[in-house]
Structure 1
Amino acid sequence: MMRLVPFLLCICLTDAAAFHHYVHNQRVIGGHDAAPNTWRWQVSLQYDSYSDGSYYHLCGGTIIDSFYIMTAAHCILSVQANRYLVVVGEHNLDKYEGSEQFIRVERIILHPGWNGDLAKGNDLALLKLFNPVQNNGYVEIANLPRPDHVLPHGFPCYITGWGLVGYGGGIAAVLQEAPIPVVEHAVCSQPGWWGGAALNTMVCAGGDGVISGCQGDSGGPLSCYSDGAWRVHGVVSYGPAGQCNQVTKPTVFTRVSAFEDWIYSIVMSV
């Protein structure tokens, strides 16, 4: 049986006290540089693995409220909130461009159904920030889909992130984007695709052997233009072990529309 893996990756950043970024990171497979100020809800979630003030790009994320970030539960390596840093308005991890905001995390909320098994789903977490995201023209709160909205087969979406490009591939510090069509559950759950590991609380996209998410893209958004606006329909969860862009092994996302009651219960709580 095909082994699934989370799209998780730590890439070291230096000079963390000033929050400057000098690392070359790798990219969404099959993607290209996103234009600055395009995916304004995209987040770089960074982690201090040694508690020494040096932060690493770990995962992606999505701004869903001025105080809340949505990401994947498997991106949470520690329950110590002070080991995480959220960077919004980010574009090039190599440069400080003046658009970035660096915000500490106050609280981590894992979905209560998450048990560490990607195939069981519920791979979702919310991060409450110490300080709100400020509207500086480079950030935006994401629109979410209608509750329980399921996109049809072939619906066009975009994956974005700073994840690996693949074995021996080029590197890019700039946020990458790639068009990636939805694969409906009836197809994605077939033998030879993801079978029983694809739940109806997930969204599959890709699987053409060309474009996919990869390590470092975890927690990032699947953005789709639906109901008259760009909306975040998915959170990057897992893909195949080894080469990420495999035929009939699409990138699998947590389906946001299946969890909106829980999301709003947290965001709207006092």
Structure 2
Amino acid sequence: MLKTLVLMLLQAAYVFSCGTPAVQPNTGRVVNGEDAHPHSWPWQISLQVKHGSRYHHTCGGTLVGPRWVLTAGHCIWPGDVYRVVLGEHDMSQQEGTEQIIDILRIVVHPNWDINHVSDGNDLALLKLDKSPIMNDSVGIACLPQAGEILAHGAPCYITGWGNLYTHGPMPDKLQQALLPVVEHSVCSRSDWWGINVKSTMICAGGDIVSGCNGDSGGPLNCVGQDGRWYVQGVTSFVSSRVCNEVKKPTVFTRTSAFTEWLSEVMLKY
């Protein structure tokens, strides 16, 4: 009970600013993915891994608290060194909005198993070494209420710097694509994802548009009734054959199924 109260107080501290980008995203039309308006998804981060003396983009993630980033468990490998870049849009150039911050602590969900991806729990929380400066380019996404289930067809957006198509190039600029939610009763049909999709997951897309390699860990952005943007999912997996496959929607870890774990970790550390 005390933990819940403390979490509510913590959330209240930034709830008035979460999910409200200074630059409004372009949500006016259905497209097969497009360049996002610069900094219209200010909670989107680039998780970068160190290879030799350089860092390279490996996954996406979402700023969900002043010092907390939510990403996928499969993005984290023991022994690797990571950093987070916030305020990023075009990776091919320095735009002056980037904030590069080291990671103080990595907490992977205890039930995540890389050998059993379809078991779920594909989550990790990264505690930043310091709080970023909140501005028009860096902001926090809202976390959904525990147990919230989105309606079939609800319009959500995937964002990231993942491959533009199967084995295709990585874009310099942040991409966005409309992915309508596919309810669990449909996504779990035998000719869709079947038993590979658990109730703790959320499916979206499943036709022309999907996530792809490099989008992992990034958010499924869905606007709430209050007009704010919520991270309803964390990009987990797509078809192993091709990124865009009919009846194989992008599968996300459903954030609202893990609110208790998220609050426990953020309070503990």
Superposed counterparts of 1:62-101, under 5 Å: 62-80=62-80, 83-101=81-99
Q: Distance in 2 between matches of 1:251 and 1:140?
A: 25
| Conserved 8 A contact 2:211-2:235 | yes
| Conserved 8 A contact 2:44-2:62 | yes
Q: Which residue of 2 aligns with 1:24?
A: none
Q: Distance in 2 between matches of 1:168 and 1:102?
A: 28
Question: Is 1:57 paired with 2:57?
Answer: yes
Question: Is 1:257 paired with 2:250?
Answer: no
The 1:115–1:171 alpha-carbon spacing in structure 2 relative to 1, beyond 3 Å, is closer
Q: Distance in 2 between matches of 1:171 and 1:129?
A: 26
| Conserved 8 A contact 1:144-1:232 | yes
Question: Is 1:33 paired with 2:31?
Answer: no
Instruction: Give identity over the alignment, percent.
Output: 49
SS of 1:58's equivalent in the other structure is strand
Q: Distance in 2 between matches of 1:257 and 1:171?
A: 30
Relative contact order (alpha carbons < 8 A, sep ≥ 6): 1 or 2 greater? 1
Amino acid across the alignment from 2:36 = A
Shift of residue 37, structure 1, vs aligned partner: 1.6
The 1:99–1:38 alpha-carbon spacing in structure 2 relative to 1, beyond 3 Å, is same
* TM-score normalised over the length of structure 2: 0.85
| Conserved 8 A contact 1:42-1:61 | yes
Q: Distance in 2 between matches of 1:73 and 1:253?
A: 12
Q: Which residue of 2 aligns with 1:112?
A: 110
Question: Is 1:155 paired with 2:157?
Answer: no
Q: Distance in 2 between matches of 1:171 and 1:238?
A: 17
1:104-128 CA distance string (max 9 Å, x none): 0111101111122210000000011
Amino acid across the alignment from 1:38 = S
Runs of 4+ in 1 over 6 A off after TM superposition: none
Task: Tell me which protein shows more helix as a share of its residues.
Answer: 2
Question: Is 1:175 paired with 2:158?
Answer: no
Q: Which residue of 2 aligns with 1:3?
A: none
Shift of residue 169, structure 1, vs aligned partner: 4.7
Q: Which residue of 1 aligns with 2:132?
A: 133
Amino acid across the alignment from 1:253 = F
| Conserved 8 A contact 2:91-2:172 | yes
Q: Which residue of 2 aligns with 1:230?
A: 229
Q: Distance in 2 between matches of 1:115 and 1:194?
A: 19
Could you list the runs of 5+ residues in structure 2 that have no partner in the other structure?
1-30
Could you list the runs of 5+ residues in structure 1 that have no partner in the other structure?
1-28
* Paired positions, count: 237
1:85-140 CA distance string (max 9 Å, x none): 10010000101101110000111101111122210000000011111111132111
* TM-score normalised over the length of structure 1: 0.85
Shift of residue 172, structure 1, vs aligned partner: 2.4
